[in-house]
């Protein structure tokens, strides 16, 4: 196991146990090499909060190098200011939607306080997400655009994304806790937005029938009821499983939800009522929950335990055991290893083959370095040079990740046929 994987496993173990012991006595060089990963995984701030909580006597604590402790605390302080500004921008968006008569609910982000985090400084937020009634799409668009936003794109699945140009460029390796400009706003008209109908959950209820008033630090807004928030988080992670990478923060949030709602039988009954209405949805949820249980070990409530084994397919179990760590602990933009398990969620072989070809050989225009870049920024030399490097890195990503997927695909066939069905087990057998 590489030092980076060992480090990342230690961080996850520390957060799961709410104690720093697994992270103690790691070399400063390893910390330095992985601070960027900590930021992008979303785990730097929860770890910094744990550090602050667990080390009252900071002068005598030597389990983590002092420069690393300082770097983590600075992130917590800087993010407090960043999130305070973003909360104000969020409040303006909520007011604009409410004034327009749009029926909405905030999802993820600020809706997770205080269920998952006690303070807004403990979570790094990239953009703002709303779920709206599809009949209110035009009203919502006008409301958001009245704040100075422009519609960047609208998808066939019902998603709209709004941005404002930033005055300064944030590079690929920029410090994530500065305040660059207004965040992007994403408006969703469905709890699950199926792309071309490839993977869908038609039995999902209307989430907007389950909203409640809420407030964070004086900002009032509508959000989903807790059970619907929880299911939305599972759907969010599953969407990323259909892609190449997911922030580990999302799994940690599900873990925290489980911890805080462990004894709430009415909550779990409602969650199971939503999930068990659709067989594919239950299978997707079982997959996500198995990842949470694997990397953030917790005693799951009985109802969740009953959901998992009954609906976790052999393919999903095999993938979680053998490939999930590599997929989850990868640096962005991740890997395509999740393609190994996706076939089970597709309606037919032909649809799957078209999708697989599109993932391995993407024909669409490559993503730009920043969707916030205004005309002036795009014309600057620094942005143009870094954007070119970014485009080249995307090409290399597809080449490398395709090769890794294809080699894993050969191994996957052998694992599926093996009575043991596990790389670890096969390794033990070979030693014997």
pLDDT tens digits for range 48-80? 999 998 876 555 688 999 999 999 999 999 999
Q: Name the DSSP letter for residue 296.
A: S
Q: How many residues does the chain have?
A: 432
Domain boundaries, the chain: 1-64
Look at the block and give the residue holding tokens 């499983």: 241
Look at the block and give the residue holding tokens 């939800």: 257
C-beta separation of 120 from 87 below 8 A: yes
C-beta separation of 408 from 414 below 8 A: no
pLDDT per residue over 87-139, tens digit each?
A: 999 999 999 999 999 999 999 999 999 989 999 999 999 999 999 999 999 99
Q: Is the pLDDT of residue 310 over 90?
A: no
As given in the structure block, the two tokens for residue 287 are 């997959």
| CA dihedral sign of residues 352, 354, 356, 362 | negative
3-state secondary structure of 130: strand
* Alpha-carbon distances, residue 271 vs 130, 166, 311 (angstroms): 21, 40, 15
pLDDT per residue over 135-186, tens digit each?
A: 999 999 999 999 999 999 888 778 999 999 887 777 778 899 998 889 999 9
pLDDT per residue over 370-394, tens digit each?
A: 777 777 777 787 788 888 888 889 9
Work out the burial of residue 165: count CB atoms within 10 Å of its CB; fewer than 13 is exposed, 13-18 middle, 19 or more buried.
middle
C-beta separation of 131 from 188 below 8 A: yes
C-beta separation of 89 from 140 below 8 A: no
**Average pLDDT for 420-424:** 51
Long-range residue pairs from 424-430, CB within 8 A, at least 24 positions apart, any chain? 424/321, 424/322
Residue 431 is predicted with a pLDDT of 36
Question: Average pLDDT, whole number, for the chain?
Answer: 89
Question: How far apart are the C-alpha atoms of 35 and 32, rounded to whole Å?
Answer: 5
């Amino acid at each position: 196991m590489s030092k980076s994987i060992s480090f990342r496993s230690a961080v996850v173990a520390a957060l799961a146990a709410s104690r720093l012991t697994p992270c103690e006595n790691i070399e400063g060089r390893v910390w330095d090499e992985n601070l960027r990963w900590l930021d992008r995984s979303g785990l730097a701030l929860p770890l910094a909060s744990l550090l602050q909580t667990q080390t009252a006597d900071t002068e005598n604590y030597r389990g983590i190098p002092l420069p690393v402790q300082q770097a983590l605390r600075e992130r917590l302080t800087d993010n407090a200011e960043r999130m305070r500004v973003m909360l104000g921008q969020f409040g303006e968006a909520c007011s604009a939607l409410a004034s327009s008569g749009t029926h909405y609910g905030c999802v993820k982000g600020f809706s997770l306080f205080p269920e998952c985090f006690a303070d807004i400084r403990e979570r790094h937020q990239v953009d703002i997400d709303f779920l709206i009634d599809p009949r209110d799409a035009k009203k919502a668009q006008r409301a958001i655009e009245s704040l100075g936003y422009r519609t960047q794109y609208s998808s066939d699945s019902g998603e709209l994304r709004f941005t404002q140009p930033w005055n300064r460029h944030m590079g690929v390796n920029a410090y994530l806790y500065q305040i660059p400009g207004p965040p992007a706003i994403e408006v969703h008209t469905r709890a699950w937005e199926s792309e071309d109908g490839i993977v869908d959950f038609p039995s999902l209820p209307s989430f907007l029938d389950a909203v409640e008033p809420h407030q964070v630090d004086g900002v009032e807004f509508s959000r989903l009821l807790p059970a619907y928030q929880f299911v939305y988080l599972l759907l969010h992670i599953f969407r990323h499983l259909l892609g190449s990478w997911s922030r580990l923060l999302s799994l940690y949030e599900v873990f925290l939800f489980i911890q805080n709602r462990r004894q709430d039988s009415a909550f779990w009954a409602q969650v199971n009522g939503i999930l068990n209405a659709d067989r594919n949805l239950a299978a997707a949820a079982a997959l996500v929950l198995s990842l949470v249980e694997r990397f953030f070990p917790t005693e799951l409530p009985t109802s969740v335990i009953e959901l998992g084994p009954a609906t976790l397919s052999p393919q999903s179990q095999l993938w979680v055991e053998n490939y999930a760590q590599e997929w989850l602990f990868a640096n962005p933009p991740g890997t395509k290893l999740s393609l190994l398990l996706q076939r089970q969620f597709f309606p037919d072989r032909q649809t799957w083959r078209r999708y697989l070809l599109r993932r391995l050989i993407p024909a669409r225009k490559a993503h730009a370095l920043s969707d916030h870049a205004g005309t002036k920024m795009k014309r600057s030399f620094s942005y143009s040079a870094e954007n070119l490097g970014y485009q080249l890195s995307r090409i290399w990503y597809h080449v490398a990740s395709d090769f890794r997927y294809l080699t894993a695909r050969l191994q996957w066939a052998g694992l599926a046929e093996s009575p043991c069905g596990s790389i670890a087990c096969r390794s033990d057998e070979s030693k014997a």
